[in-house]
Structure 1
Amino acid sequence: MARTESKGRIVTDSRRIEEIARNARRVAVLGIKTEAQAGQPAHYVPAYLQGAGVEIVPVPVYYPDVTKILGQPVYRRLADVPGEIDILDVFRRPSDIPPHVDDILALRPKVVWFQSGIRNDEVAERLAREGIEVVQDRCLMVEHRHAR
């Protein structure tokens, strides 16, 4: 039974994906890149969202000396991010996601969004069982533009 319930939380319906993208107000970005990597999706996707009025909460994995990205204070761990998060946008290789699961569960975002090319069915199932909606292998920027 739990498997059926969790499948309902792994979002594949285009209308629901559009709704999630359209309603995002505060997005934490795990694996965000700095302005020095502006040509990479892990920077220009959150930059686009910020330009569209979405609050971005940077959670870089690298760049230990950086204290701000996109003018916002950097958090080193998801568990340290204050307040409610609509979407956790993930820019990590699928094999690098499992070590973040406990922090993701501590953060309790409404939705975890694995960017284009990123899919981890095991993690998605676990998050879904915990009541978190999961979108896999979709670009939040593309979906947000489409939903506007």
Structure 2
Amino acid sequence: MAGLKEARLLAVAIPAALLGGAYVSQYGFGLYPCEMCWWQRYPHFAGLALGLASFIAAPPRVWSALAGLAIITSGLIGGFHAGVEYGWWQGITGCAKVAGGLDVLDPSAAPLVRCDQAPWSLFGISLAGWNFLFSSIGGIAILVLSAKKEQA
């Protein structure tokens, strides 16, 4: 029966996989993050740290549940960001940033990354939308599994 062990594994695997995908997209395919993309990464960093803590600190149920909440937070930010990309609502900032930092020799050479334009999608779902789906479902699964009592 699934329980705490699976919750702890998911609490590490989900943010590691999603952060890994974000960095592969960024450095492998040139899909630089906008400001709101970064906002989605921060809770995943926290979730990964909390998930790892569930393996070394007591009580593990609390650490994995906190990781689940951090992952859900990233998902909610992703849902908000997807809504901005799809034009369902306005973002809370102008949200455009120069990718990769400012090029000292030619500042105009660095691409401008906007939050209201999805640079990539699969089946009509943007990266922010996929983050919303995977993080929300995964975070809820972690919370449910963390709450289960172990069977003797």
What is the TM-score with the length of structure 2 in the denominator?
0.28
Task: Identify, as 1 or 2, the structure richer in helix.
Answer: 2
Task: Identify, as 1 or 2, the structure richer in strand.
Answer: 1
What is the TM-score with the length of structure 1 in the denominator?
0.28
Q: Highest relative contact order (Cα 8 Å, sep 6+), 1 or 2? A: 2
**Could you say which structure has the larger radius of gyration?**
2
